[in-house]
Structure 1
Amino acid sequence: MLPESQIDVAQFLTRALAGDGTVERVSTHISSLFLAGDRVLKCKRAVRFPYLDFSTPELRLAACQAEVALNRRTAPALYCGVRRITREPGGALTFDGSGALVDAVVEMRRFPEADLFDAMARSGRLGPTHIADLAHRIAAFHADAAISRDHGGTAAIAKLIAMNDAALRNAGLVPEAEAQALSARFRAALERHATLLDARRAAGKVRRCHGALTLRNICLFEGVPTPFDCIEFSEDIATTDVLYDLAFVLMDLWHRARFDLANLLFNRYLDEADETDGIGLLPFLMALRAVIRAHVTGAQAADAPDPTATIAEARAYIDLADSLLAEAPARLLAIGGFSGSGKSSVAASVAPGLGRAPGARILASDRIRKRLHGADALTRLPPAAYEPAVSAQVYAALRREARRVLAAGHCAVADAVFDRPDARAAIAAAAEELGIGFCGIWLEAPAATLARRVEGRTNDPSDATVAVLSGQLARDPGAIVWHRLDAGQPLDALRDAVHALCDDGRARVRR
């Protein structure tokens, strides 16, 4: 609810929307929303906190103007504009009059609550197509966001760790000993990552981001994944490393056990954004986001319909943060096989459970080939793009990127045909050079099965045809010493078999 000083504003907004149908009200600790028909009027509450000040009409107007300007970067169709509320000489309130400023609201277009990504995740409607599209939009948004070298870096993260520690203690969510241990783990992780965090700031990776990129702040608007409700009240909170911005939605998906979607978002984002140097930071950054969600959730428990459940959820976020800080070795998995053997499906199924969150980086030769030619993943390339010399470049690029991922301390999955002995030896050597475990998988199936799968492909990055498959089958692939698996098994069985081989220390060094 709005404070007592804004009661007349609340009444005015209710009357203004009454013609559009029943007026609904939704309140947060800093805003009140009035919803009717296809319209939303969002009013800032006259409050002052250490991190924001909405205590005067002028400050609320400025905040509304900032909210519209910043959110139009990602949701231009959603944000209609700012309406000033003025008091006219007779005492009545009106929109955009000539009288004294009393308040201001953000006017927005309304969308169904069911189209919020968190609601879609709960109902099972959130799928890979939505996530792949979202990854593209976040990558484009980050690429265009304003660079800052005055924010971010080690100092900002150290301040955040201290703030999280104080907030957890104030919320009474953890015993003193546990709070101390968790804070110590964060500080130790920060010490390990400090050089990289500062280097990324120097390289322009700290930008004016969204700041609160959770599933709750993303909707499907007119069929398009649309981030909205960014942080407008604090440059310090919202101006951060782009991977810390991404980490919020990754953490949100991980918390909901949508490991598949988190890994997909991670991979499609990195397909477009050159952030490989920083991916070793992601578990740490996701853990920071989990602690933020923990103390925010805990602070809401007193007013929640079920305080016990709310506290339990807050504790689940703390447990998640703890697990995200656990170390795990980097390793390289290579999946080969002729076209139609299911390499990409197996890679996508295996990757979420390989290594640290948000799972392994998948490096697919089909996608790398398209990028080298400046084409999107679904654009068919001409036959010249598959000449042996070009394929050699593709495999070399795959190995280079695998080395970068492994050097960053993250797991990688190399997805390519690998039908030549030298290509198989070279990818294994990429891991050996770094002293990192390797596992090679060869998927095989009858020629008729492979051909049927190739013919049935739609919306696939592979340009392989049955004629291409026939050429592969006609060549001698040489001695295959990788682990051979029947590609006709159910996908879950293949996934489990690959994980078992990757977890076998002897399997990791096989070439």
Structure 2
Amino acid sequence: MTKEQINSLLLNGKFPEETGKRELMETHISWVILCDRFVYKIKKPVHYSFVDFSTLALRLYYCNREIELNKRLTQNVYIEVLPVNKWRNKIIIGGNKGAIIDYAVKMYRLDTKKRMDKLLIQHVVTEPDIKKLAEKIAFFHNKTTIIYQKNLLNIREKFNDLEGEKEYLSEQLGSSFSTIIGRAVEFSNAFLNKNKALIAKRLRDGFYRDCHGDLHSRNIFLLPDPVPFDCIEFNDDFRKIDVLNEVAFLCMDLDAFDRKDLSALFLEYYNHFFPAMKTAGRRELFIYYKSYRANIRAKVNALRAKSATTDEERTRSLTAVKKYLYLMESYMKELGKA
């Protein structure tokens, strides 16, 4: 679909049920439409280095994968995949009238006020919330598929991919941020070379699992039973990772909200239920993974800034880039002192 067709769907398109609300949320790879009771997620026809939604067949495949994978951590949230049709200049979700132009994942709408990132902003996330979440993620990691074969050092390429944004970020933010990226890449390469044996042992010992892959506060609802949703379906390699890499994402996110206390608490309880970090070397690896996750968030926001359609959206994304680059740098400094 195109942005124009999405706007048409929002304005006068037809949904499977009557709805008064049609609110659009947009990411760099998806359009998400919030209705009264349901949510419809449509994948953008994009092709980046890490995701390929460029054909209708690929988007259908990944819609089905999204439901299959997310049901591991959710109950009664993901419902079905529906065709998006164009009929008589009208966009219709569901049914069989007209030609199929795309597909949508249909989900039940959860209470947005209970989304973890919003609760963090309000300073109402509690220690019991964190403990419940840590226990749920630990038990999920315990039972999910163990991965024994993987190109372990391709994380180097993923980390270094941020260098592709240096020119743009230097133009937008100044040369100091290009310097931060250059130093971080150099440090990352040295760290990975130094810790090849440890990383290989983590794989042999069964700490690589088929995880969620995108575990941060925007993808978690803090209901009586925490609901982590929106796992990575579009790239298996991003999801089949060291469990420390997974929890490092959430802990980095909590650090970014200036809640290092909650970050430490989550890690403590997670490690109690799934002892994944017992030595100083593994703690250093965890900190490295936090720097990697800050790196990825910087890159995602750089892509958002590039594709922004308004100055406000661009400024917001570039502000986030700065925050994550500074955070990445702080983890590197922490490792440098270790």
Q: Same fold (TM over 0.5)?
A: yes
Deviation for aligned residue 1:310: 4.2
| Distance in 2 (alpha carbons) for counterparts of 1:246 and 1:31 | 24
Please name the residue that 2:36 is paired with: 37
Distance 1:34 1:179, change over 3 A: closer
Residue 326 of structure 1 aligns with which residue? 333
The 5-angstrom pairing of residues 183-202 of structure 1 reads 183-202=185-204
Give the match for residue 73 of structure 1. Answer: 72
TM-score, structure 1 normalization: 0.58
Q: What are the equivalent positions in structure 2 for 1:316-465 lying under 5 Å apart?
A: 316-327=323-334
2 CA distance for matches of 1:316 and 1:8?
32
CA-CA distance at 1:133 after TM superposition? 0.4
* Runs of 4+ more than 6 Å apart: none
Structure 1: unaligned runs, 5 residues or longer: 330-355, 357-408, 410-511
Q: Deviations over 1:85-135 (max 9, x none)?
A: 45789x995625397643211111112322111100000111111110000
1:120-172 per-residue CA deviation (whole Å, 9 max, x = no partner) reads 0000111111110000111111112222233252x122222221333345433
Does the CA-based 8 Å contact 2:16-2:93 persist in structure 1? no
Structure 2 residue identity aligned to 1:28: T
Task: Look up the match of 1:166.
Answer: 164
Residues 127, 294 of structure 1: alpha-carbon distance in 2 compared, 3 angstrom cutoff: same
Distance between the aligned counterparts of 1:123 and 1:188, measured in 2?
Answer: 40
Q: Which amino acid aligns with 1:213?
A: L
Partner residue, 1:297: 301
Asked if the contact 1:85–1:97 (Cα under 8 Å) also holds between the matched residues in 2, the reply is no
CA contact (8 A) 2:144 2:210 kept: yes
Aligned residue in 2 for 1:275: 276
Whether the 8 Å contact between 2:141 and 2:209 is mirrored in structure 1 is: yes
Which residue, out of 207, 213, 216, partners 1:214? 216
Shift of 1:10: 2.9
Q: Report the RMSD for the aligned CA atoms in angstroms.
A: 3.0
Query: How far did 1:229 drift?
Result: 0.7
Check the 8 A contact 2:32/2:42 in 1, yes or no: yes
Amino acid at match of 1:160: K
Alignment-mate amino acid for residue 311 of structure 1: L
Q: Could you say which residue in structure 1 is the equivalent of 2:234?
A: 233
Q: 1:123 to 1:131 in 2, by over 3 A?
A: same
Deviation at 1:263, TM superposition (A): 0.6
3-state secondary structure, aligned to 1:83: strand
- Native 8 Å contact 2:288 2:332 kept in 1: yes
Question: What are the equivalent positions in structure 2 for 1:98-247 lying under 5 Å apart?
Answer: 101-151=100-150, 153=152, 155-172=153-170, 174-175=175-176, 176-221=178-223, 223-247=224-248
* 1:71–1:79 contact (8 Å) kept in structure 2: yes
SS of aligned partner of 2:146: coil
Task: Please state how far the C-alpha of 1:297 moved relative to its aligned partner.
Answer: 2.3
1:58–1:269 Cα change, 3 Å: same
User: Per the alignment, in what secondary structure is the counterpart of residue 150 of structure 2?
Assistant: coil
Deviations 1:23-76 (A, max 9, x none): 212222221122221111111122322322223322211111000011111112
1:373 aligns with: none
Moved more, 38-47 or 59-68: 38-47
In 2, Cα distance between equivalents of 1:180 and 1:254: 23
C-alpha deviation, 1:259, in angstroms:
1.1
Sort the Cα spacing of 1:128 and 1:234 in 2 relative to 1 into closer, same or farther, 3 A. same
> 1:313 corresponds to which letter in structure 2?
A
Q: 2: CA distance between counterparts of 1:92 and 1:294? A: 35
Identify which range, 18-27 or 55-64, moves more after superposition.
18-27
Amino acid at match of 1:314: V
Percent of paired sites with the same residue: 28
Q: Distance in 2 between matches of 1:29 and 1:169?
A: 20
| Alignment pair present for 1:251 and 2:255 | no
For 1:161 and 1:123, the matched residues in 2 are separated by 32
Counterpart in 2 of 1:60? 59
Once residues 240 and 293 of structure 2 are traced to their aligned partners in structure 1, the CA distance between those partners, rounded to angstroms, is: 15
Query: How many equivalent pairs are there?
Result: 328
